[in-house]
Amino acid sequence: MEKTVLTGQTLSFVADPFAVPPDEAVRHHTHGAVVIADGRIVEVGAADTVLAAHPGAARVDYGAALIMAGFVDAHAHYPQTGIIASWGKRLIDWLNGYTFPEEMKFADPGYAVATAERYFDLLAAHGTTSACSFCTIHPASVEAYFSVAAERGLRVWGGKTCMDRNAPDGLRDTPQSAHDDSKALLEKWHGKGRAEYVITPRFSPTSSPEQLEALGALWAAHPECLMQTHLSEQTDEIAWVKDLFPDARDYLDTYERFGLLGARGVYGHAIHLEPREEARLREVGAALVHCPTSNTFIGSGLFRLAALKAQGQRIGLATDTGGGSSFSMLRTMAAAYEIGQLSGTAIHPAQLLWLATEGSAAALHAADRIGNLEAGREADITVLNLASTKDIAQRSARASDLWEAVFPTIMMGDDRAVKAVWVGGRQIKM
């Protein structure tokens, strides 16, 4: 068994830093080492001890750079890669003005493959090693996403976006075709290599009750899969849902009544929740995904991260590209911090890093496989240069502890801060 030892600073989590004091939640070695072999992490510890235990291993020395788990983006739209940072729309106008015209192009398999390749290139540049993405209604968009990810050895989640109303001609399916296409794609891709299929109604306004019922039945037949959708992103969206579903108790009920609420449900945004919705989501153990750059860019509102975590909600972090304005999880963490400040809570750097790794992995029910620098996990690793630019370097040079050294990179870092990326034990960026 060939082994490789990565040396540098190492950071791993031993607990949720929202649940215990941040310094008690992490294990940090200023001179640490990570042993990888056969695509997995074998050992993490002090460099002198680890190197002595593995004398024949190849060594890659990252100096003072920080070695940690690769970032996990828990909610994205890879088909919107080309329209990221488009000007001036709120959610419904964004869909009609930018998203739907772009998604129409994915009827062309070649366009889908080219976009998937560009998307995964961008993720690698920013240190993201796993993502959960909506595709389009076209099965070819799903095939492109999973096939390109497989070529690169990435652990990914994705699914055909289902819509049978309130969308343009050529971008609608039917209750039956949504069920059947999703089932066929699920049977082909779920569990193949590092791919996992996700049942994917876009959101209640674009699915009829009949389609939601069909997808609920599919999820009931395949409870091993995740189900992803959107929930309570904007106030005008919520008003629209009330008009479309006048008998529903609230937005969440438009999913719950059709079997689309459960522990493996992943609900993007969840900004404007009612007390009943919060209680039910917590009760079933569903995941909420915080999308801070999107929430500010499209003007959706301020996610109540600290309050929802204090309730015991399962929460991940995501770019929500292309409604989100960056492919970078560093920028996403910075936006989460800024929203926390506006909401009256300073989010600790350890909490931000946990959300972008272990927290998002847990939201996707994959914390036993990815999201932490721990023996037995898959060797998806990101190495951060904590002095990547002059402005970051001059600030981090004054740091008196780990968090003062890391925080400037969270707030000001970009792809230049990503020194190296390893996926499944193989280096893909250096």
Percentage of the chain lying above the pLDDT 70 cut? 100
pLDDT higher than 80, residue 350: yes
Q: What percent of the chain has pLDDT over 90?
A: 95
The pLDDT value recorded for residue 52 is 96
Could you tell me the two tokens for 162? 């289902």
3-state SS, the chain, equals: CCCEEEEEEEEEECCCCCCCCHHHHEEEEEEEEEEEECCEEEEEEEHHHHHHHCCCCEEEEEEEEEEEECEEEEEEEHHHHHHCCCCCCCHHHHHHHHHHHHHHHHHCHHHHHHHHHHHHHHHHHCCEEEEEEECCCCHHHHHHHHHHHHHHCCEEEEECEECCCCCCCCCCCCHHHHHHHHHHHHHHHCCCCCEEEEEEECCHHHCCHHHHHHHHHHHHHCCCCEEEEEECCCHHHHHHHHHHCCCCCCCCHHHHCCCCCCCCEEEEECCCCCHHHHHHHHHHCCEEEECHHHHHHCCCCCCCHHHHHHHCCEEEECCCCCCCCCCCHHHHHHHHHHHHHHCCCCCCHHHHHHHHHHHHHHHCCCCCCCCCCCCCCECCEEEECCCCCHHHHHHHCCCCCHHHHHHHHHHHCCHHHEEEEEECCEEEEC
Query: 86-120: per-residue pLDDT in tens?
Result: 887 777 887 888 899 999 999 999 999 999 999 99
Residues 30-40 have pLDDT tens digits of 999 999 999 99
Judge contact between 54 and 35, C-beta under 8 A: yes
Q: What is the mean pLDDT of the chain?
A: 97
pLDDT in tens, 126-176: 999 999 999 999 999 999 999 999 999 999 999 999 999 999 999 999 999
pLDDT at 287 over 90: yes
CATH of the domain spanning 4-70+371-429, picked from 3.40.50.720, 1.10.1740.10, 2.30.40.10, 2.120.10.30 = 2.30.40.10
- Average pLDDT of 43-62? 96
Q: What SS3 string covers 197-263?
A: EEEEECCHHHCCHHHHHHHHHHHHHCCCCEEEEEECCCHHHHHHHHHHCCCCCCCCHHHHCCCCCCC
Q: Which two tokens stand for residue 33?
A: 């080492």
Residue extents of the structural domains in the chain: 4-70+371-429, 71-363
Backbone angles phi, psi at 259, to 5 degrees: 80, 20
Q: What pLDDT sits at residue 178?
A: 98
CB 240 within 8 A of CB 92: yes
Average pLDDT over every residue of 269-291:
98
pLDDT at 353 over 80: yes
71-363: in CATH 3.20.20.140: yes
When pLDDT is averaged across residues 358-375 and rounded to a whole number, the result is: 98
pLDDT of residue 206: 97
Per-residue pLDDT at 95: 85
Between 254 and 94, name the one with better pLDDT.
Answer: 254
Q: What is the pLDDT of residues 302-319, one digit of tens each?
A: 999 999 999 999 999 999
Q: What is the pLDDT of residue 96?
A: 83
Tokens matching residue 106: 């994915």
Residue linked to tokens 């779920």: 190
Average pLDDT over residues 274-300: 97
Q: What is the mean pLDDT of residues 183-190?
A: 98
